[in-house]
Every structure is written in structure tokens, then in C-alpha cells.
Amino acid sequence: MIQWIAFDADDTLWHSECYYHDAQQRFLEILSPYLPDGVRGLDVLHEIEIRNLPDFGYGIKGFGISMIEAAIHVSGGQIIGSEIQKIVEVAREMIHHEIRLLDHVQETVESLAASHPLMLITKGDLMDQERKIQGSGLRNYFQSIEIVSDKTALTYRALFQKYQINPEAFLMVGNSMRSDIMPVIDLGGWGVHVPYTITWAHETVQEKPANPDRFFELEHLGPLPSLIAEIIRQAR
């Protein structure tokens, strides 16, 4: 009965998407002199981002390359080198942003670490994720940390194998239905969805989980320890 508790990191433990949001606004400002009437710069960027995922993966580096590619595309190749440099700086600043924990994260993680082994499962650039884990001050609460290239059913199945986890004893907490919740519930685990204020369009899904008995939604991490205690109590 719930032996492992796993957490997503970006927008579950600390703010992340807001930095992408800010970067997109700065990207649009740099691009504005080049933007033809009727062309929506962010739509072009999103399309290129999704197309680039299989080649460059999740994270800031792939996002930076997509911004540059979108700028070249939208300007019909006219954007000048110094503007491209500004876009590179936007990406660099994203990598050096401060780590801000979300509300109730510190006390919740601390409290759950006393009763369960905790796992952190995050996708994105390896260096960036390591920097954030280190900067969060939460490193020592996690028994294991997995930085993966994607979070699909295959990824979770491989982790269950690696740690010899029975999916029924695994509960995943995260802000993304697509990456954190659906695949885990499909495999027989438990999912607690904690939505972030902004969700990247790529991470939203319309469907509901196949097994709603194992699906929960919380506004923030505060009530998580009592929710888990309740799940365990009911299973007895």
C-alpha cells in the first residue's frame, strides 16, 4: 500500500512555466519589428517547439533553439545577428533564474520524507535540472532522483522495474495530466494532480483517467500528507 511517493519537479515543487512565459514576451518584443501583419509569433514558436521535441528534447536549450528558428522563419531570414544574440541571452537568463518553491512544498516534502521513500522524476536538460534540484534545498529529502528524457508509460514501467516497485504501491504527484498522471494511472498506480497557474499547451489533455478511483486533484501540496494517510487508511 503506497510505498513510494514520487514528485514531478517543474511547476509542482518550484516555479518554471512562468519563466517560459516571460521569455516568450521578450521574444515577441525582439521579433516585433520583423513580424509581418497577421502572423502570430507565438503560434509559429509553439509549432516549431513541438516539431523540435524529438530532436532537441524538453528544456531550455531546445526552447532557445526553437526561438531562434522561429525568429529566422518569421522574419524571412532578415533578423540580424545582434537580435539573435538577444534571444540567446533570453535563454541564458532562464537558466540562471532563482529557484522559487511553490507554497506548502517545503513542509509537505519534509513531512512525507519522514514516512516514505520519495522519488523525484523530472524531464528537461540534465544540467538545468541538477542545478534546480541543488538550488531548491530539497535534495536530501529524496531517496532517488530520476532525470528522464520524457515521461511516458514506458518511462514509468522502466522505473518500476529498476526499483522493483509494484505500480499499486506507487503514487505520483504532478502538475501535468499528460506526463505525471495519465501514464501512472494507466499502469495501475495512483495520481495526484496539482495544477499550476499556467500549463504549456503541450501538457494539457482532455481525457480523464481510466481509473478515477486512483485519481485525485489538489489545489496545492498542503493537504497531500492527509490525503495519502486517508488512502492508506481506506485500503486497510
Find residue 217's DSSP bridge partners: 193
Rounded to the nearest whole angstrom, what is the least distance from the CB of residue 8 to Mg ion in the complex? 4
Output the DSSP codes for 164-217.
T--GGGEEEEES-IIIIIHHHHHTT-EEEE---SS--GGG------S-GGGEEE
Nearer to Mg ion, 11 or 125 (CB): 11
Nearer to Mg ion, 10 or 125 (CB): 10
Binding positions for Mg ion, 149-188, rule CB under 5 A: 175-176
Scanning 11-19, 131-139, 163-171, 216-224 for contacts with Mg ion by CB under 5 A, the matching segment is 11-19
- 161/172 Cα distance (integer angstroms): 16
Nearer to Mg ion, 31 or 182 (CB): 182
C-alpha dist (Å) from residue 131 to 22, 99, 127, 183, 230: 20, 9, 6, 27, 35
Rounded to the nearest whole angstrom, what is the least distance from the CB of residue 224 to Mg ion in the complex? 15
Q: Taking CB under 5 A as the rule, does residue 8 contact Mg ion?
A: yes
Q: Binding Mg ion by CB under 5 A: which of 5, 11, 184, 225? A: 11
- 99/201 Cα distance (integer angstroms): 23
Rounded to the nearest whole angstrom, what is the least distance from the CB of residue 16 to Mg ion in the complex? 7
Rounded to the nearest whole angstrom, what is the least distance from the CB of residue 200 to Mg ion in the complex? 9
Give φ, ψ of 140 to 5 degrees.
Answer: -75, -10
Scanning 5-13, 41-49, 130-138, 147-155 for contacts with Mg ion by CB under 5 A, the matching segment is 5-13
Residues of the shown chain interacting with Mg ion in the complex, contacts defined by CB under 5 A: 8, 10-11, 175-176
